[in-house]
Structure 1
């Protein structure tokens, strides 16, 4: 949910930059910088969520330390 919110927020900044590249006072629009920061935060949130919710684990496949597989 956080990743989606940050992504939509970043896209809104990119949209604003596309519509208004130069602000009315003559300064350059720096909304793309905020969009890049928010996109980075979205990627970080997705990575953290992936680490915390890693899915099913299969303990029957994992070997004990020092235990060798034998084909006997």
Structure 2
């Protein structure tokens, strides 16, 4: 297999960026989404401030994913 030149890598990268730019975009209101998903959580304020990953040890993500006890 022949090695690609820097110019060929550049062309591939530019083509990929152009393709990605054409994909449809969905906008989500983060706070509204988190409030809906974690409405019954005692960790809601912490989730809103720091994100749901900060509460993984509290079991919140496990519960939402159906992995809770």
Greater radius of gyration (CA): 1
Higher helix fraction: Structure 1 or Structure 2? Answer: 2
TM-score, normalisation: structure 2:
0.35
TM-score, normalisation: structure 1:
0.34
